[in-house]
Amino acid sequence: MARIKSKNTGPERRVRSLLHRMGFRFRLHGRGLPGHPDVVLPKYGAVVFVHGCFWHRHEGCKYAYVPKTRKAFWMAKFEQNVTRDARVLSSLKALGWKVLVVWECELRDEARIAKRVLQRLRKRSQ
Protein backbone atom coordinates (compact mmCIF):
# COMPACT_ATOMS: atom_id res chain seq x y z
CA MET A 1 0.00 0.00 0.00
CA ALA A 2 1.40 3.31 -1.00
CA ARG A 3 1.83 5.88 1.69
CA ILE A 4 -0.12 8.96 0.89
CA LYS A 5 1.82 12.05 1.61
CA SER A 6 -0.71 14.74 2.23
CA LYS A 7 -0.94 17.37 4.90
CA ASN A 8 0.12 14.88 7.56
CA THR A 9 3.69 16.04 7.63
CA GLY A 10 5.95 15.67 10.61
CA PRO A 11 5.80 19.20 12.05
CA GLU A 12 2.01 19.41 11.84
CA ARG A 13 1.65 16.05 13.47
CA ARG A 14 3.90 17.13 16.30
CA VAL A 15 1.97 20.30 16.95
CA ARG A 16 -1.29 18.37 16.94
CA SER A 17 0.10 15.83 19.34
CA LEU A 18 1.32 18.62 21.61
CA LEU A 19 -2.09 20.31 21.61
CA HIS A 20 -3.73 16.98 22.25
CA ARG A 21 -1.50 16.31 25.25
CA MET A 22 -2.39 19.77 26.53
CA GLY A 23 -6.00 18.68 26.53
CA PHE A 24 -7.20 20.62 23.51
CA ARG A 25 -9.73 19.11 21.19
CA PHE A 26 -9.66 20.29 17.64
CA ARG A 27 -10.52 19.76 14.02
CA LEU A 28 -8.04 19.34 11.24
CA HIS A 29 -7.66 21.43 8.12
CA GLY A 30 -10.35 24.04 8.27
CA ARG A 31 -11.52 23.45 4.73
CA GLY A 32 -14.11 26.17 4.76
CA LEU A 33 -11.62 28.69 6.13
CA PRO A 34 -9.16 30.93 4.32
CA GLY A 35 -5.78 29.25 3.99
CA HIS A 36 -7.06 25.92 5.34
CA PRO A 37 -5.48 26.17 8.79
CA ASP A 38 -3.72 23.02 10.02
CA VAL A 39 -5.64 22.97 13.26
CA VAL A 40 -8.97 24.55 14.19
CA LEU A 41 -9.94 25.06 17.82
CA PRO A 42 -13.61 26.01 17.51
CA LYS A 43 -14.14 26.39 21.23
CA TYR A 44 -11.46 29.07 21.38
CA GLY A 45 -12.23 30.69 18.08
CA ALA A 46 -8.65 29.99 17.16
CA VAL A 47 -6.75 28.45 14.29
CA VAL A 48 -3.17 27.26 14.12
CA PHE A 49 -0.81 27.21 11.18
CA VAL A 50 2.41 25.24 11.23
CA HIS A 51 4.76 27.08 8.92
CA GLY A 52 7.99 25.88 7.42
CA CYS A 53 10.59 28.60 8.00
CA PHE A 54 12.01 28.42 4.50
CA TRP A 55 8.82 28.64 2.47
CA HIS A 56 6.99 31.04 4.71
CA ARG A 57 10.03 33.22 5.45
CA HIS A 58 10.38 33.13 9.19
CA GLU A 59 11.85 36.55 9.87
CA GLY A 60 15.36 36.49 11.24
CA CYS A 61 15.47 32.70 11.18
CA LYS A 62 18.52 30.92 9.86
CA TYR A 63 16.32 28.49 7.95
CA ALA A 64 14.79 31.30 5.94
CA TYR A 65 17.89 31.64 3.78
CA VAL A 66 17.90 32.47 0.09
CA PRO A 67 19.43 29.84 -2.17
CA LYS A 68 22.49 31.12 -3.99
CA THR A 69 21.37 30.12 -7.46
CA ARG A 70 18.26 31.34 -9.29
CA LYS A 71 17.87 34.11 -6.80
CA ALA A 72 15.18 36.00 -8.76
CA PHE A 73 13.10 32.86 -9.02
CA TRP A 74 13.25 32.25 -5.29
CA MET A 75 12.56 35.84 -4.37
CA ALA A 76 9.43 35.88 -6.52
CA LYS A 77 8.29 32.60 -5.03
CA PHE A 78 8.88 33.81 -1.47
CA GLU A 79 7.09 37.05 -2.13
CA GLN A 80 4.08 35.11 -3.38
CA ASN A 81 3.99 33.00 -0.24
CA VAL A 82 4.39 35.93 2.11
CA THR A 83 1.68 37.89 0.30
CA ARG A 84 -0.67 34.91 0.44
CA ASP A 85 0.02 34.37 4.15
CA ALA A 86 -0.71 38.02 4.89
CA ARG A 87 -3.95 37.87 2.94
CA VAL A 88 -5.04 34.69 4.72
CA LEU A 89 -4.18 36.18 8.09
CA SER A 90 -6.22 39.31 7.55
CA SER A 91 -9.19 37.35 6.16
CA LEU A 92 -9.22 35.10 9.21
CA LYS A 93 -8.91 38.03 11.56
CA ALA A 94 -11.75 39.80 9.77
CA LEU A 95 -13.86 36.69 10.36
CA GLY A 96 -13.06 36.94 14.05
CA TRP A 97 -10.53 34.11 14.33
CA LYS A 98 -7.51 34.21 16.53
CA VAL A 99 -4.53 33.10 14.48
CA LEU A 100 -1.50 31.33 15.87
CA VAL A 101 1.54 30.56 13.77
CA VAL A 102 3.95 27.91 14.94
CA TRP A 103 7.25 27.95 13.10
CA GLU A 104 8.97 24.71 12.33
CA CYS A 105 12.17 25.74 14.08
CA GLU A 106 10.22 26.32 17.29
CA LEU A 107 9.42 22.62 17.52
CA ARG A 108 12.74 22.10 19.25
CA ASP A 109 11.21 23.71 22.29
CA GLU A 110 7.71 22.35 22.75
CA ALA A 111 7.39 23.82 26.23
CA ARG A 112 7.77 27.28 24.77
CA ILE A 113 5.14 26.63 22.12
CA ALA A 114 2.79 25.31 24.80
CA LYS A 115 3.28 28.46 26.83
CA ARG A 116 2.62 30.71 23.87
CA VAL A 117 -0.51 28.77 22.90
CA LEU A 118 -1.90 29.08 26.41
CA GLN A 119 -1.16 32.78 26.54
CA ARG A 120 -2.90 33.39 23.23
CA LEU A 121 -5.95 31.28 23.98
CA ARG A 122 -6.45 32.63 27.45
CA LYS A 123 -6.87 36.17 26.20
CA ARG A 124 -10.45 35.47 25.22
CA SER A 125 -13.05 37.29 27.26
CA GLN A 126 -15.55 34.59 28.11
Q: Does 58 bind Zn ion (CB under 5 A)?
A: yes
Applying CB under 5 A, among 44, 103, 113, 121 the residue interacting with Zn ion is 103
Among 53, 88, 102, 117, binds Zn ion (CB under 5 A): 53
Q: For residues 38 and 88, give the distance between their C-alpha atoms in angstroms, rounded to a whole number.
A: 13
AA identity, residue 97: W
Q: What is the DSSP letter of 62?
A: T
Determine if 107 is a binding residue for Zn ion (CB under 5 A).
no
Binding mask 12-41 for Zn ion (x = CB under 5 A): ------------------------------
105 part of the interface to Zn ion, by CB under 5 A: yes
Largest pairwise CA distance in the chain = 51
Segment interacting with Zn ion (CB under 5 A) among 3-11, 82-90, 92-100, 102-110: 102-110
The length of the chain is 126
Query: Rounded to whole angstroms, how far apart are CA atoms 26 and 83?
Result: 27
Distance CA(113)–CA(91), nearest Å, equals 24
Nearer to Zn ion, 48 or 53 (CB): 53
